[in-house]
């Protein structure tokens, strides 16, 4: 968080418009499974690692359609003693089975989560803006969850998660894009396992 309210860089443009949106795959982690004792403080809103407790993993989120994670956004939140940011993330869970209801939907309703998404705009030549981290400050929690048998989700769930954070954005970057991609993939269990978020 920038407590001084003073900017430290000029505002310019490289005449290249940012690329919209996110890649189709993300990672969701139970916030309680992150080893915060080993997590170093961020530099310039960027974390270099994402350590998990022993035996814990993240889970893959796969989103279909032309606009994966559509509805995900960040907005200024005015406060009494200082301002912050609301981060809202939307996922669609298409599967409609008892296991999905128990293992995913019921858990999403009451848990706290961290989600890592890969931006289509990687953040310039260093690609240090490729991976955004939502929920690392105070946790993403269910804001709305809706199941409509006649919606475009075809009977699946549309889930909106929200975090009331201090920072405008948080990133994950471990020396290079390739190293960060490897780090993110290493948070997942075996390749055969994935979430039912489609």
Tens-place pLDDT, residues 29-79: 999 999 999 999 999 999 999 999 999 999 999 998 899 999 999 999 999
Mean pLDDT of 71-100: 93
What pLDDT, on a 0 to 100 scale, did the predictor assign at position 192? 41
Tens-place pLDDT, residues 133-166: 999 999 999 999 999 888 877 778 999 999 999 9
- Contact in structure between 150 and 165 (CB atoms under 8 Å): no
Domain boundaries, the chain: 22-185
Question: Among 169, 116, 115, 172, which residue's Cα sits nearest to residue 142?
Answer: 115
pLDDT of 191 > 70? The answer is no
Could you tell me the pTM of the whole model?
0.89
pLDDT of 196 > 70? The answer is no
């Amino acid at each position: 968080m920038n407590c001084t309210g003073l900017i430290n860089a000029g505002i310019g443009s490289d005449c290249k418009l940012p690329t919209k949106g996110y890649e189709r795959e993300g990672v969701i982690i139970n916030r309680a499974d992150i080893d915060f004792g080993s997590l170093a403080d961020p530099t310039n809103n960027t974390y270099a690692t994402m350590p998990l407790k022993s035996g814990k993993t993240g889970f893959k989120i796969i989103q279909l359609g032309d606009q994966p994670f559509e509805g995900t956004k960040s907005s200024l939140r005015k406060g009494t003693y200082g301002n912050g940011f609301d981060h809202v993330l939307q996922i669609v869970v298409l599967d409609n089975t008892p296991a999905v209801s128990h293992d995913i939907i019921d858990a999403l309703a009451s848990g706290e989560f961290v989600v890592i998404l890969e931006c289509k705009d990687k953040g310039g030549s260093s690609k240090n803006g490729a991976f955004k981290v939502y929920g690392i400050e105070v946790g993403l929690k269910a804001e709305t969850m809706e199941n409509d048998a006649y919606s475009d989700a075809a009977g699946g769930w549309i889930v909106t998660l929200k975090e009331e954070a201090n920072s405008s954005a948080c990133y994950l970057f471990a020396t290079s894009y390739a190293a960060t991609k490897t780090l993110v993939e290493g948070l997942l269990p075996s390749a055969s396992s994935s979430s039912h978020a489609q």
